[in-house]
């Protein structure tokens, strides 16, 4: 069996503001983008454009579109001539000396857009190809912000889909290494106390004049937390009446920190065997599932 690889997806929400918007309005938008190959400069010398954009099913464009984001870096403008001992920051070295068909640090990120869900799902990490969610958002904002498109669609909003940290999500997080559970005592007793455990904690807080009730659970070295029913109940209590900070090792074996107090860009990680996986089929399957699931939430 070959080494497993990971692909990360993020999601954008697209919304068109004009009269009589329908699913076909979104189809019209992406049909027009098929011939839009302009390159958009972004921060840190990143240049992006869309390529190979087409309907997933030519006869049924409502089923969605699939495409690729082509990202490259430009060469710096600050050059020093060692023979003439001069510095030239005005000369466009890339345009003057580099053939137009050669691009620097090229990366590819595939995406799919689903008109029925108004969601665009894009790779942000696959192998050595990495890009931030904010760059993807910035790119599509600039791509769709043109006078021509405004004349047709009036206004198009592009927003990152955010991930809300729920107690269920924390409990289901694999490889937890630390939990900081914070319950805050409100002026009034919580109106809805469902369980005996909740009543026990809040009664203790009231009786002892406790403003903030906290617990910190740290896993043993090289081990992960195993949550019993009482800890799970405490996580739910803290999320509903305070917050939870937690640390875990992700699928790339990197420690991440998150909090139920904050929102984060939506990310879904998928592992696959590169030798036995049809990457195109996986892209269609995963992006369709993500778009559908996000609408349900």
In this predicted model, what pLDDT tens digit does every residue of 259-293 receive, in sequence order?
999 889 999 999 999 889 999 999 999 999 999 99
140 and 13, same structural domain?
yes
The pLDDT-based confidence of 34 (bands split at 50, 70, 90) is very high
The pLDDT-based confidence of 90 (bands split at 50, 70, 90) is low
Residue 103: per-residue pLDDT? 76
Cβ 117 vs Cβ 5: under 8 Å: no
- Bigger pLDDT: 189 vs 28: 28
Residue 30: per-residue pLDDT? 97
- Bigger pLDDT: 150 vs 43: 150
pLDDT above 90 as % of the chain:
67
- Classify residue 10 as exposed, middle or buried by CB count within 10 Å of its CB (0-12, 13-18, 19+): buried
Residue 2: per-residue pLDDT? 67
Number of residues assigned to the chain? 297
User: Which has the minimum average pLDDT: 21-30, 129-138, 249-258?
Assistant: 249-258
Residue 273's beta-bridge partner residues? none
Residue 70: per-residue pLDDT? 94
Residue numbers of the domain that contains 211: 167-261
133 and 14, same structural domain?
yes
158 and 180, same structural domain?
no
251 and 158, same structural domain?
no
Collapsing DSSP states into helix, strand and coil, what is residue 221? coil
Residue 186: per-residue pLDDT? 64
pLDDT at 118 over 90: yes
Cβ 109 vs Cβ 69: under 8 Å: yes
128 and 61, same structural domain?
yes
Q: Is residue 152 part of a domain?
A: yes
Q: Is residue 106 part of a domain?
A: yes
- Bigger pLDDT: 257 vs 92: 257
pLDDT at 48 over 60: yes
Residue 190: per-residue pLDDT? 55
pLDDT at 1 over 70: no
The 3-state secondary structure of 245-266 reads EEEEECCCCCEEEEECCCEEEC
- Average pLDDT along the chain: 90
Q: Is residue 266 part of a domain?
A: no
Structurally, how many domains does the chain consist of? Answer: 2
pLDDT above 70 as % of the chain:
94
pLDDT at 160 over 70: yes
Q: How far apart (Å, rounded) are the C-alpha atoms in residues 233 and 213?
A: 14
Average pLDDT over residues 248-264: 90
pTM for the model stands at: 0.83
pLDDT at 156 over 80: yes
183 and 145, same structural domain?
no
Residue 189: per-residue pLDDT? 56
Q: How many CA atoms lie within 13 A of 25 on its CB side?
A: 17
Q: Is residue 244 part of a domain?
A: yes
């Amino acid at each position: 069996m070959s080494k497993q690889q990971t692909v990360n997806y993020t999601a954008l929400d697209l919304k068109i503001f004009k009269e009589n918007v329908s699913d076909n309005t979104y189809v019209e938008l992406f049909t027009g983008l098929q011939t839009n190959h302009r390159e958009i400069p972004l921060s840190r010398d990143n240049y992006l454009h869309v390529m190979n954009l087409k309907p997933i099913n030519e006869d049924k464009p409502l089923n969605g579109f699939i495409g690729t984001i082509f990202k490259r870096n430009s060469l710096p403008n600050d050059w020093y001539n060692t023979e003439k001992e001069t510095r030239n920051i005005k000369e466009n070295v890339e345009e003057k000396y580099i053939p137009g068909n050669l691009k620097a640090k090229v990366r590819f990120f595939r995406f799919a857009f689903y008109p029925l869900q108004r969601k665009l799902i894009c790779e942000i990490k696959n192998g050595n190809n990495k890009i931030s969610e904010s760059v993807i958002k910035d790119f599509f904002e600039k791509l769709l912000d043109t006078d021509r498109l405004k004349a047709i669609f009036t206004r198009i909003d592009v927003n990152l889909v955010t991930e809300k940290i729920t107690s269920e999500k924390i409990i289901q997080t694999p490889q937890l290494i630390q939990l900081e559970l914070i319950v805050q005592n409100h002026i009034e007793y919580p109106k809805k106390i469902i369980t005996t455990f909740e009543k026990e904690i809040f009664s203790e807080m009231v009786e002892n004049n406790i403003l903030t009730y906290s617990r910190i659970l740290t896993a043993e070295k090289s081990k992960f937390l195993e949550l019993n029913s009482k800890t799970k109940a405490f996580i739910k209590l803290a999320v509903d009446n305070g917050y939870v900070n937690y640390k875990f090792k992700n699928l790339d074996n990197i420690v991440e920190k998150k909090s139920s107090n904050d929102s984060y860009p939506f990310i879904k990680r998928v592992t696959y065997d590169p030798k036995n996986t049809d990457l195109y089929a996986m892209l269609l399957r995963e992006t369709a599932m993500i778009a559908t699931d996000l609408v349900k939430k």
